[in-house]
Amino acid sequence: MKFKFSALVFSVASLTFLGYVCPDLHAKNAKTSFFSASDNAAQTFSGPTTTPPVTPIFIPLTFTQHLHHQGHSIKSNGDQFRLKQGTYLVSFTATFTAGSLVTVAPTYFDIALQVGSKLFFVNTDSHYALNLENPTFSTSTGIASFNKIIEIDDDHKDLSVVVRNTSSFQNVTATTRSITIKKLKSK
Amino acid sequence: MKSKLLAFALCMTALSSANIEAKIAAKNAKPFQISKEKSAITFFGAEDTSEIDLVGPTSAFTQLTFTQDQFSFGKGITPNLASSEFLLEKGTYYISFTGTFQLSGSSATAAYYDIALQLGPNFIFVNTDSVNFTVDNPFSVSSLYKVIEVKKPTNLSIVARCTSTGDTVLLTTRSISIEKFS
């Protein structure tokens, strides 16, 4: 009788391990990793101030507020996101305001992604620069958004959303902005 | 004695079953990676930087191409050879698009352009934006996001056209992301 009981207990224990522990692990893996953050601290990007103009370098946007995340694939240090190997969907939205220090003219600025040292997906937007002393134009502010799927081949890579202003003697300021990074697939 | 033997046999069966499972798992060495693949999302993503001229005025839409940096996983989203049409199997999909549109030339008036989805023969979700060199924005980053339902295998395209007389809108950097929800 003791043997029967032991066998029964052991069988139940084995089945419990095989049938319940493993599905738990599967369920954990089924969760989608994501990271989202926003910011509304004004970040101003100055255009070239020399003649001939020297195009400024790209500068990362910060995302320090309203951080939400799930999983361990994406970590943030404010303006860079460390991503593990895999494929990710990156979504970005921001309000940009153009301002002119000298005249009223279109202001051009580039928004791009930087992974490690590689710059890619360079989009160009423009706003009509508002003369700061005579603010008569209403088209100086606009929203720019993008969605992009990226692949991280190495163990870890740092991702940033970067901006540069290519218009001489004019400023572009990023105000409200958000980023959402969603892991689509592990490597 | 019979019952002891039966209990022993049952115990050995349970032990060997657990042992076999463990050996299979160890042999495959990737039991959790398999589950990760199962949990991955079906998607397709691509971009392109080749220039497309949208010459106005026209009522005809131009299909946009996405030939570079293509990433995909799962079944149900198949690009054609030109990467301008994507055959979607039955299901629900989240479509997102971003592109840089630029006024070609120096028109003093606004150049209007439409961006839409083409699903089979139908043009849906027609959005209108504009660029203007003199008093507005010569460049514009335009994006669209849309969930669509496909009831039978259907081709999807992102299409655009310039509707302004005498204007040309140039499309450069662009990307498409298609994510299957169900």
Reported ipTM: the value is 0.74
Residues 25-54 of A with CB under 8 A from B: 25-26, 29-32
Nearest residue of chain A to residue B73 (CA atoms) = A185
Measure CA A126 to chain center: 21
Same domain, B24 and B46: no
Same domain, B23 and B102: no
Domain that holds residue B19: 2-34
User: Is the confidence at residue A45, as pLDDT, over 80?
Assistant: yes
Say whether pTM exceeds 0.90.
no
Does residue A156 belong to the interface with chain B, where contact is any CB pair within 8 Å? no
Work out the minimum CA distance from B38 to partner chain A, whole angstroms: 8
Same domain, B25 and B87: no
Work out the minimum CA distance from A7 to partner chain B, whole angstroms: 5
Same domain, A56 and A102: yes
Domain that holds residue A140: 32-186
- A vs B, Cβ pairs < 8 A, gives 142
Alpha-carbon distances of A156 from A61, A166, B2, B148, rounded to whole Å: 20, 31, 61, 34
- Residue that the structure tokens 């009223």 belong to: A104
Same domain, B11 and B93: no
Same domain, A68 and A143: yes
Nearest residue of chain B to residue A13 (CA atoms) = B14
Nearest residue of chain A to residue B70 (CA atoms) = A149
Each as own residue / partner, the long-range contacts of residues B67-72 (CB below 8 Å, 24 or more positions apart, any chain) are: B69/A120, B69/B45, B70/B44, B70/B45, B70/B46, B71/A87, B71/A149, B71/A150, B71/A151, B71/B43, B71/B44, B71/B45, B71/B46, B72/B43, B72/B44, B72/B45
pLDDT digits (tens, 9 = 90+) for B16-75: 444 444 444 434 433 333 334 345 789 999 999 999 999 999 999 999 999 999 999 999
Cβ-based contacts of B100 with chain A (< 8 Å): 123-125
Cβ-based contacts of B115 with chain A (< 8 Å): none
Same domain, B112 and B146: yes
User: Is the confidence at residue A104, as pLDDT, over 70?
Assistant: no
CATH of residue B92's domain is 2.60.120.40
Q: How many structural domains are present in chain A?
A: 2
Single-letter amino acid code for the residue at A141: T
Do B21 and A26 lie within an 8 Å CB cutoff? no
Please tell me which of the candidates A1, A7, A146 has its beta carbon nearest to residue B10.
Answer: A7
pLDDT digits (tens, 9 = 90+) for B120-157: 999 999 999 888 866 556 889 999 999 999 999 999 99
Same domain, B61 and B129: yes
